[in-house]
Structure 1
């Protein structure tokens, strides 16, 4: 069964806050109501910028975009991803997201993706996981992984 964090009254947890140039920045758990915004931001900003995704043309392929959307929606639903929110003039918006899926030792790999371009990227990630063998190396039955760190282009270098 896929991992899903218990989301209770203690959530979202705030990890860090700072102010710069009149804006307040907060690093915190991604709020459930922001999952779709975060997913769309990955499609817009991450896919064209990340080397494997760009090289495989995922951002230009309808099925690739569909697969990427499913991948990040699933990741966000686990409730482990972290976002940077910027508040300026009373408006709070996401400016960055770290997509953090949890890998469990009993996870069953499913062939749910339809596009060759997205499958190639996933296969690269799976290959890296198998070579590193974190379950055996760390002696754990689950671990927090990374599936993309993205900052909106208009927010880069500003916080």
Structure 2
């Protein structure tokens, strides 16, 4: 599959995160970029990425909901588990470069207004506490002092 950009790999990773249980809306995929600690790419790059991935049969769209096809899921198998996002993107770009699927599927052409609306809705939802379920939970800082052992009952006898 050529040409390949980092946005292709990031979109596949975000789609994988967002569509685990059911096909995801575009807003949910935009929220999938946050756990990857990556900024949401520009509108024109997203439109090109969606068009390219659907034309090669890696992503499918049904009723404005996105999910990975069987070929897309096969690409996600075997990704390294203990690496950062840059390592995942590099590994996935290598798999995309080796992917030789034909571009004979119907590509999806989204409008710029539709993608802009999804990005703005995701940004608004990210500002509201408790709305974005894809966000990692912050770690609670514990005190360094040792707690005294629990003493059950009425005390010493």
Instruction: Kindly name which structure, 1 or 2, has the bigger radius of gyration based on alpha carbons.
Output: 2
Q: TM-score, normalised by structure 1?
A: 0.26
